[in-house]
């Protein structure tokens, strides 16, 4: 796969994560998650510019206008999706009053979205999601993992968590304490 195609795929995956995080930030009124959307949108903007430059360079080299146009149009559509996710997260960041129907659905939900760091030496550090059976033991599903600037979307049971990872989970509110213990530096 060429570098431009990899960047386009990364844009697509990132925009999907952004939408999930933006809706979660709004539904659970979580400012930390909304701020992640802002950071991801900046990354999308960078990738978007890189793809545009690469498409134009490739066009100059090959003369294949149609291929360059397709890359630019798809990248533009993905960038607009990322902007829409940012608009959703912005409601939380600006502390805008949400519609009463949405507020009622939030109050009826027993699910929350959390962002938690995995500390070195914690129970989760160095173990796969399958080993710790996080979902079955706590009810919390790992939606995404941020490792440095890299993101893993919808990680499976074979993904190994490492100290320094930031995990994004969704599950019941009564699982917060267990998740906090499992991610803390002093496992109990």
pLDDT attached to residue 59: 85
Hey, what's the torsion of the CAs at 36, 41, 43, 44, to 10 degrees?
140
For 3-100, CATH gives 1.20.58.220
**This model's pTM is above 0.85:** no
Nearest to 115 by CA among 161, 168, 38, 47: 168
Parts of the chain belonging to CATH 3.30.70.1450: 110-183
Parts of the chain belonging to CATH 1.20.58.220: 3-100
pLDDT attached to residue 74: 95
Residue 31 · residue 91 · CB < 8 Å: no
According to CATH, the topology of domain 110-183 is Alpha-Beta Plaits (3.30.70)
Tens of pLDDT, residue by residue, the chain (188 residues): 588 888 999 999 899 889 888 888 887 788 989 999 999 999 999 999 999 999 898 888 888 888 889 989 999 999 999 999 999 999 999 988 877 777 676 656 667 778 899 999 999 999 999 999 988 888 888 988 999 988 888 899 999 999 999 999 888 888 888 899 999 986 44
pLDDT attached to residue 12: 93
> Residue 67 and residue 176: Cα distance in Å, rounded?
49
């Amino acid at each position: 796969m060429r570098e431009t195609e990899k960047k386009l795929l990364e844009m697509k995956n990132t925009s999907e994560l952004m939408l999930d995080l933006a809706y979660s930030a709004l539904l659970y009124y979580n400012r930390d998650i909304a701020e992640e959307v802002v950071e991801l949108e900046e990354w999308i903007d960078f990738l978007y510019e890189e793809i545009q430059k690469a498409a134009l360079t490739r066009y100059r080299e090959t003369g294949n206008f149609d291929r360059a146009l397709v890359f630019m149009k798809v990248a533009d559509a993905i960038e607009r999706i990322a902007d829409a996710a940012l608009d959703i997260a912005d409601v939380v960041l600006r502390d805008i009053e949400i519609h009463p129907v949405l507020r009622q659905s939030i109050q009826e939900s027993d699910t929350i979205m959390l962002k938690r760091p995995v500390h070195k030496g914690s129970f989760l550090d160095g173990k796969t999601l399958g080993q710790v059976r996080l979902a079955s033991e706590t009810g919390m599903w790992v939606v995404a993992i941020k490792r440095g600037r890299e993101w893993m979307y919808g990680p499976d049971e074979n993904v190994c968590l490492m100290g320094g990872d930031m995990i994004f989970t969704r599950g019941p509110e009564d699982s917060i304490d267990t998740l906090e213990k499992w991610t803390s530096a002093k496992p109990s």
